[in-house]
Chain A
């Protein structure tokens, strides 16, 4: 699975994207966020408060209860500030 990070989420994690092997215990975006948080202190800082984060699966906005699968592209980012 490809995981992408944007804006301050990327700053805290320390990388813009990473390839991960999805563990069997992870089946939703929220569970993925929880699992990613344990990978490093940077990840922990990024995922400390998931209420501040938004997610997309395969480039579509999704809630944290949305399912994830091995081939998905999952992105985590703060609320958008375009325009």
Chain B
């Protein structure tokens, strides 16, 4: 299941809802991305996430489908926010549930690595020095690329 929304989400409630009635689940992995302030840079006032409505939903659904093809999952959830957020705010939630922990943990990391480089979101930071678009990190491409060759274990 995927959701793209402006409002915050409550991780515990989302996980409870996802797992409700699924008695074959043996492990649940989750990742929460949070607006982070770089202590070395100028004070961060806010971050605005822009996205490409329509394509965002398509890409997230495709990434989720790929995770379900590679791993034996009981359930999965991606929630990604857009709009203006302040340091400490939640941006993204990824939850994967599986009969066994390895599939849950690996697929959770796969989902967050892939969505960073494939889902059409752009971050713009507001600091006391003005506004600036965040540049893509080479390490994100490296993290995503490793899943192209690594065979799924389960």
A78 pairs with B116, CB closer than 8 A:
no
Given contacts A7-B122, A7-B133, A8-B133, contact A80 B54 (CB under 8 A): no
Bound CA span A48–B115, Å: 27
- Quote the shortest CB–CB distance from B118 to chain A (angstroms): 7
Please tell me if A14 contacts chain B, counting CB pairs below 8 Å.
no
A80 pairs with B133, CB closer than 8 A:
no
Please tell me if A65 contacts chain B, counting CB pairs below 8 Å.
no
Bound CA span A11–B130, Å: 14
Please tell me if A23 contacts chain B, counting CB pairs below 8 Å.
no
B-chain residues with CB within 8 Å of residue A8 when the two chains form the complex: 133
B120 pairs with A80, CB closer than 8 A:
yes
8 Å CB contact of B121 from A59, A61, A75, A80: A80
A81 pairs with B136, CB closer than 8 A:
yes
Classify chain B's interface size: 20 to 34
B118 pairs with A61, CB closer than 8 A:
yes
Bound CA span A8–B54, Å: 20
Bound CA span A33–B118, Å: 21
| B91-116 CB contacts (< 8 Å) to partner A | 91-92, 112, 115-116
A75 pairs with B55, CB closer than 8 A:
yes
A81 pairs with B123, CB closer than 8 A:
yes
* Total chain A interface residues with beta-carbon distance under 8 A: 17
Closest to A10 in B: B50
B-chain residues with CB within 8 Å of residue A81 when the two chains form the complex: 116, 121-123, 133-137
| B24-75 CB contacts (< 8 Å) to partner A | 33, 49-52, 54-55, 58
What are 26 A-B pairs at a CB distance below 8 A?
A6-B120, A7-B133, A8-B133, A56-B52, A59-B58, A60-B58, A75-B120, A77-B52, A78-B133, A78-B136, A79-B117, A80-B136, A81-B121, A81-B123, A81-B135, A81-B136, A82-B49, A82-B51, A82-B92, A82-B121, A83-B33, A83-B91, A83-B92, A83-B112, A83-B119, A83-B140
| B residues lining the A interface (CB < 8 Å) | 33, 49-52, 54-55, 58, 80, 91-92, 112, 115-124, 133-137, 140
* Closest A-B pairs by Cβ, 4 of them: A82-B121, A79-B136, A83-B116, A7-B122
